[in-house]
Structure 1
């Protein structure tokens, strides 16, 4: 029987996630089709334009984490680029927005329709939707995702057997294909992939339903403004506030120490 707590939350509490879970194979099929069939130019464009990039979350060693998506802060990527007037090395905001729209409609039409349906029925509760891939050997250092107004759902799409897990507080949690792992990712955590294969999930960030909507929207707007000033290619997902503080390391280490003491 799986147990839940303040940072590891039962996905069944969020009925709007069921639509994603029921369609997980179609979502996976679109991802696999893109990876296998996209031209080199399209692959580069997707990771350049649709990929949220962090300057603060660090890894141990050379293994990488890659991500790209189609919804950020409740807006499809082409609108988000225009609203924030993101300029790229090879093209301006208008051209980047047009390219993003073409890529979204070409490769991820089913996922886009699903997002539209859920947000229409649930008052724009879904904020970010992107694919996240842990490449073999990845070990991400302890960090937080300072988003106290949202929870993060990870829908397993391609999950190899073996040691690929999320360490959060004193637990080690695992992804499973076709199922959600829902976390309050403002708690310090450090995921890894010690297998020889890629692990890919669909990341779905959503407002915490128990918080006043006006309050969380105001917080999101202020946070995104700050993050876009720090790093426009973060797409508002990552920021300097994601760095773990000294007290996080102390708390994390102390929690583990208690577990070690109990084990001994």
Structure 2
């Protein structure tokens, strides 16, 4: 029987996520259809505009993590781009927003509907929804995602057999297709994919239901303003506070990663 704790949370405690889980195959099919049918121009635009980017989370080696999504800080991506007037090198803000809406309607109508259903029923509890792909050989260095107002759910869409896992604190956890893995990402963690295949999940960030909604909205607003000022292409998902502290490495028995970090930066 699976055990849960303060950072590995029981999905049954968050019944609003069942709508996503019930639609997991449809959501997966939208992702795979997009990857097969999108034009090179659409793919380039997607990773330029719809992909949250981090300046602080680093990987070992050359393998990468890729992500793109349709909901950020409770807003569909086209509204988020417009609200923050994000400036892109190759797209005017207005054009970027229009193309984002066009792509969302063309490829991700079912996922959009699920988000609208859940957020309409529960006061916009879902904050971010994006696809995250670990490419073969990926090894992400220890970090935190400082979001004390939110939990992060991973809905398994494409999960190969083998060593693809999340190390968080003293545990190693695994993704499963059609199921949610829910974590408090304020705890230090380092995921990897040591298989020869991509692993893709739908990342669903949501407000902690046991916290005051006014309190978490106020915190999110302040945090997003800071993150967007530092890196508008983070779409408010990542920030400087994601860097693990030295005591995190030591506390969780990952001092070897700290030495690797220091050697790389010297």
- TM score, norm. by length of structure 2: 0.95
Between the aligned partners of 2:74 and 2:247, the Cα distance in structure 1 is 32
Between the aligned partners of 2:120 and 2:128, the Cα distance in structure 1 is 15
Q: Which residue of 2 aligns with 1:85?
A: 85
Between the aligned partners of 2:40 and 2:20, the Cα distance in structure 1 is 29
**Are residues 229 and 31 of structure 1, via their aligned partners in 2, closer, same or farther at CA, if it must alter by over 3 Å?**
same
After superposition, residues 211-230 of structure 1 pair within 5 angstroms as: 211-230=211-230
What is the alpha-carbon root mean square deviation over aligned residues?
1.1
Specify the SS of the correspondent of 1:253: coil
Deviations 1:54-88 (A, max 9, x none): 01000000000000000000000000000000010
Q: Which residue of 2 aligns with 1:177?
A: 177
Where has structure 1 moved over 6 Å in runs of 4 or more? none
After superposition, residues 62-73 of structure 1 pair within 5 angstroms as: 62-73=62-73
CA contact (8 A) 1:169 1:255 kept: no
CA contact (8 A) 2:78 2:97 kept: yes
Deviations 1:131-178 (A, max 9, x none): 000000000000000000000000000000000000001100000000
After superposition, residues 95-110 of structure 1 pair within 5 angstroms as: 95-110=95-110
Q: Which residue of 1 aligns with 2:142?
A: 142
Q: For structure 1, which runs of at least 5 residues remain unmatched after alignment?
A: 257-264
Between the aligned partners of 1:45 and 1:244, the Cα distance in structure 2 is 31
**Are residues 255 and 243 of structure 1, via their aligned partners in 2, closer, same or farther at CA, if it must alter by over 3 Å?**
closer
Specify the SS of the correspondent of 2:167: strand
Q: Which residue of 2 aligns with 1:168?
A: 168
Q: For structure 2, which runs of at least 5 residues remain unmatched after alignment?
A: 257-266
Deviations 1:5-58 (A, max 9, x none): 000000000000000000000000000000011111111111111000001000
Q: Which residue of 1 aligns with 2:118?
A: 118
What displacement does 1:246 show?
1.0
The alignment covers a number of residue pairs equal to 256
